[in-house]
A and B are shown apart, each in its own frame.
Chain A
Amino acid sequence: MDKTEINKAEKNDRRSFLKILLSGGLAGFAAITIYPILSFLNPPKQTEVEVNSVVVGKVDDIKPGDSKIFRFGNKPVIIIRIDENNFRALSATCTHLDCTVQYKKDEKIIWCACHNGKYDLYGKNVSGPPPRPLDKFNVAIKNDELIVSKEA
């Protein structure tokens, strides 16, 4: 075996080593590209997004005696400004058959249009078919913003 032959053999070894590296890299690239693509094409069943708090808006967006219904996850929540300094947030889903309730300013009650269910402003069922009170939410004011969160 002369010197050139030895150099050739060494060169071949190096080349095949580089080839292995390159194909390994390609295989890796394929794997990390194809897997997310396949995952994207076959998305898993989504679970409901768990929401723990929602920023409703600025304090002055709701005037005293007014209310606002907003989305809290998939469910509506009603926030009522009882007076200048007091806010109360309650689930806006009627406990009877899941209709969305509304605030009736003149009667000072929370009212359900479906079957005339009535709740007081603490969410307690006072008239009509609702079997139990509305769930309560916490209201906090931070930097002039209303933050409604689930009761612990």
Chain B
Amino acid sequence: MGIKMNYIPKLRLITIVLSIFIIQYTYAADDQCLSCHQGLDDKPSKLFIEDVHYKAGLSCSSCHGGNSNSDDMDLAMSKSNGFIGVPVSNSISEMCSKCHSDFDYMKKYNSNIHTNQFVKLKESVHGKLAVNGKGMMLQCITCHNAHGIKKANDPKSPVYPTNVPQTCNKCHGNATFMQSYNPAISVDQLTKYRTSVHGVLNSKGNIKVAECASCHGSHDIFSAKDVRSKVYKLNIPGTCSNCHSDKNYMKDFDIPTDQFAKYQNSVHGKAVFEKQDLSAPVCNDCHGNHGATPPGIESISKVCGSCHALNAELFSASPHKKAFDEKKYPECETCHGNHEILIAKDQLLGVDKGAICLKCHSENENQKGYLIAKEMKKLTDSLIVSDSIAKNMVFQAEQKGMDVEELKYKLREIHQARLEGRTIVHSFDEAKFKEVTTKGFKTSDTIITEAKAAVDEFYFRRYGLGVAVAVITFLIVMLFLYIKKIEKPKSL
């Protein structure tokens, strides 16, 4: 026992020495590259200790190759140990994808993490060949940084929502750089974005509002002209509605969430979704895109007027303009609505039930407008009736085999007068309206007269034919009887 007791201090000493050695060796074995580069006080090593990969236990050699356990520089950075130095061009992203495209491997770190980023990037507009002809335009590190990579939900990450605009702007705000890829693309998106509702809130630290990636995608970004793009014209309503129709997501913002549902039902929505009409407006045509903001009361007619130019022009010159401005009524919207703009039916006009004019005009209040609306509606209805009679008459004449090509051609003029009437109504000027409808009435009168004449001509020919056939038949019968009479033997 005594002997044993004598050994204890020695054992303690050995244990302590060994522990120090093991700790030192372990530290060295952790990452010799890092310890050496930290000694050099270089930027990569400073950044790397903050890197999500370092924290997950990866070493420099995971990306650069070599042996990070060796403190012998030549040995650690020898090709025989797989040292590749600084990866260039596509080998950078390929290096990242070795792990990030491996589902089983990534599952160890985060079961929710996607593993298709590299595939998406290669397909995207940024995956195209760079101007130098060496690899893709953009590598993973362009947006995520090389050393000091943070999780996307880390406020220090360049791809954290409030940092994304600035990250994209590194290239997209550089006119010289962008010119080498697409001289037509504007480089003021960030400036515009900062003026938008999204941009203002984003700069205040709100991470729910849309930033570049919310609309354009992150790894799978395509040109706006590419049908796969989230911002391809026909895809825009869906892209905006991802957030704007989500009641739960939008609960922090005091705005409705039914815009998309209403828009789908509108004349514009139907043109987009049912007819795939690329000229019809989608969200950004009225709200702007990078500078997205709701149009102000006074600018609505300018926004709508960018397509419905004549209507806007006529409205601006009409007495309604002043009245609307005074009452702060939004111009087109007051009568037509905003997201759910329905096809403007003739019933909107006039003083009958459902007419918009009744909102402000009645027999007792603002009577002048009431009377004008009543008269305009009367003219519209009469023109519709005339149009229908003319069409019917032409149809009848056509069915009777008469040549009505010229009349059918003239029918276009009534159609045109009706359409022009629907436009000129925005002048709210009875005289101008009458001028247009009179053209239609005159044409319909001409068509009805000529079509009637064609129908009469048909009956004239028909009865004429009947008479001729009767006369010819009578003659034949007479001839037949006469021949029979001649043939009878005289003796009988």
Contacts and interface: CB of A to CB of B under 8 A. Distances in A.
Interface of A: 26, 33, 37, 40-41, 43, 45-46, 49, 71, 73-76, 97-100, 113-116, 125, 127-132
B419 A116 contact: no
B310 interface: yes
Interface string B278-312: 11100000000000000000000000000111110
Contacts of B480: 26
Nearest to A127: B309
18 contacts: A33-B472, A43-B401, A46-B398, A71-B405, A71-B409, A74-B409, A100-B416, A113-B416, A114-B310, A114-B420, A115-B308, A115-B309, A115-B311, A115-B423, A116-B310, A128-B310, A131-B277, A132-B279
A114 B400 contact: no
B279 A114 contact: no
Given A40-B401, A115-B423, A128-B310, 5 more contacts: A26-B480, A37-B465, A46-B401, A97-B419, A114-B416
B307 A128 contact: yes
B408 interface: yes
A80 to B, nearest CB: 20
Contacts of A115: 308-311, 419, 423
A40 B420 contact: no
B307 A113 contact: no
A37 B311 contact: no
A145 B408 CA distance: 27
B400 A99 contact: no
Interface in B444-482: 462, 465, 469, 472, 476, 480
A73 B404 CA distance: 11
Contacts, number: 70
B465 A40 contact: yes
A128 B280 CA distance: 11
Interface of B: 277-280, 307-311, 313, 398-401, 405-406, 408-409, 412-413, 415-416, 419-420, 423, 462, 465, 469, 472, 476, 480
A116 B423 CA distance: 9
Nearest to B415: A98
A76 B412 contact: yes
A135 B279 CA distance: 17
A74 B476 CA distance: 45
Contacts of B416: 99-100, 113-114
Identify the interface centre among B313, B416, B423: most chain A CB within 10 Å of its CB.
Answer: B416
Nearest to A36: B465
Given A113-B420, A114-B423, A129-B307, A99 B415 contact: yes
B460 to A, nearest CB: 13
B286 to A, nearest CB: 14
B412 A37 contact: no
Contacts of B307: 128-129
Contacts of B309: 115-116, 127-128
Given A71-B409, A115-B308, A43 B400 contact: yes
Nearest to A92: B412
Given A97-B419, A114-B423, A115-B310, A49 B405 contact: yes
Contacts of A33: 469, 472
Contact of B405 (A45, A74, A97, A128): A74
A82 to B, nearest CB: 25
Contacts of A73: 405
A149 to B, nearest CB: 18
Contacts of A46: 398, 401
Given A43-B399, A74-B405, A127-B309, A114 B419 contact: yes
A136 B462 CA distance: 43
A152 B320 CA distance: 50
A128 B308 CA distance: 6
A125 B309 CA distance: 14
A98 B414 CA distance: 12
B462 to A, nearest CB: 7
Nearest to A23: B480
Contacts of A41: 462, 465
A100 B423 contact: no
B193 to A, nearest CB: 28
A136 to B, nearest CB: 19
User: What 8 A-B pairs come out closest when comparing CB atoms?
Assistant: A43-B401, A116-B310, A131-B279, A116-B309, A114-B419, A99-B416, A129-B307, A74-B408
A45 B400 CA distance: 9
